[in-house]
């Protein structure tokens, strides 16, 4: 398990240098951590059999490594073990409604991570990585549900991607055309926030009526998601 320095600023490489929107780039590792910890679904870009695929998949992070399921990506890993992937996590926070269409945009927090994923084969790391992945989506669930059997572990492929090379972009706040001549047009401008929250639990219809809802799930109802 790799342990790069979590306190270190993000390094710049050709692909993480922000060419378009420099003002929205962040080299602060705490921004990367916060974005990754706030979510649980990433978009994995990988080349499989010469086809570029962008696959939504569940992930977890311990601050130094991103863990994700590898069914599709591991096919690619076998075919070309030195192939880079790009994993992107995005939280959409709202619509930026400017006076002009041209200045419209989106408030968001996004992280792109680059690297060559590693198939996790060490049993201890696989256990820890799967726990990390499960706990990130649903804290408390790893110890509540039945944990993986030896057979299930063998049927699961887990990939690890170091957080060494990453790019963070954040946009927040009001539109940028408040001090232009467009501001004299008398048009409303501002932000329409997008908010996410966890809804009311929906019990499996197959569930016996006497089974109680555990607190770690009951307490999550109505709680906001993605740090929005």
Pairing status of strand 51-61 against strand 65-69: antiparallel
3 state SS of 82: coil
The Cα 157–Cα 91 span in angstroms is 26
Among the candidate windows 3-11, 25-33, 60-68, 80-88, which touches a copy of itself by CB under 8 A? 80-88
Interface pick for a copy of itself out of 27, 58, 116, 119 (rule CB under 8 A):
58
CB 107 within 8 A of CB 96: yes
Contact flag: residue 80 with a copy of itself (CB under 8 A):
no
Q: Which of 71, 44, 72 is nearest to 59 (CA)?
A: 44
Interface pick for a copy of itself out of 27, 74, 125, 220 (rule CB under 8 A):
220
Contact flag: residue 209 with a copy of itself (CB under 8 A):
no
Nearest residue (CB) to a copy of itself, 3 versus 79: 79
Site for a copy of itself in 21-40 (CB under 8 A): none
Q: Residue 30 Cβ, how far from a copy of itself at the closest point, in Å?
A: 21
Contact flag: residue 187 with a copy of itself (CB under 8 A):
yes
Interface pick for a copy of itself out of 20, 78, 150, 209 (rule CB under 8 A):
20
Nearest residue (CB) to a copy of itself, 7 versus 151: 151
The DSSP code for 101 is G
Interface pick for a copy of itself out of 34, 38, 64, 97 (rule CB under 8 A):
97
Angle at CA of residue 42, ends 41 and 43, nearest 5°: 135
Interface pick for a copy of itself out of 29, 99, 118, 126 (rule CB under 8 A):
99
21-25 own/partner pairs: CB under 8 Å, 24+ apart = 21/169, 21/171, 24/169, 24/170, 24/171, 25/167, 25/168, 25/169
């Amino acid at each position: 398990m790799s342990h790069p320095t979590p306190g270190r600023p993000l390094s710049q490489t050709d692909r993480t240098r922000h060419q378009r929107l420099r003002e929205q780039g962040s080299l602060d590792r705490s921004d990367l951590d916060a974005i990754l910890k706030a979510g649980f679904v990433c978009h994995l870009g990988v080349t499989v059999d010469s086809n570029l695929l962008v696959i939504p998949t569940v992930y977890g992070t311990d601050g130094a490594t991103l863990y994700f399921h590898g069914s599709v990506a591991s096919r690619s890993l076998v075919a070309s073990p030195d192939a880079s992937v790009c994993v992107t996590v995005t939280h959409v926070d709202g619509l930026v409604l400017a006076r002009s269409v041209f200045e419209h945009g989106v408030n968001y927090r996004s992280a792109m991570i680059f690297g060559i994923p590693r198939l996790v084969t060490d049993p201890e790391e696989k256990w820890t990585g799967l726990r990390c992945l499960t706990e990130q989506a649903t804290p408390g669930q790893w110890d509540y549900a039945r944990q993986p059997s030896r057979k299930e572990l063998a049927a699961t492929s887990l990939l690890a991607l170091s957080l060494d090379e990453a790019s963070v972009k954040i946009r927040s706040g009001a539109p940028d055309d408040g001090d232009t001549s467009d501001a004299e047009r008398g048009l409303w401008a501002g932000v329409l926030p997008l908010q996410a929250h966890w809804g009311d639990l929906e019990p499996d219809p197959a569930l016996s009526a006497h089974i109680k809802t555990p607190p770690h799930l009951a307490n999550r109802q109505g709680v906001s998601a993605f740090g929005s």
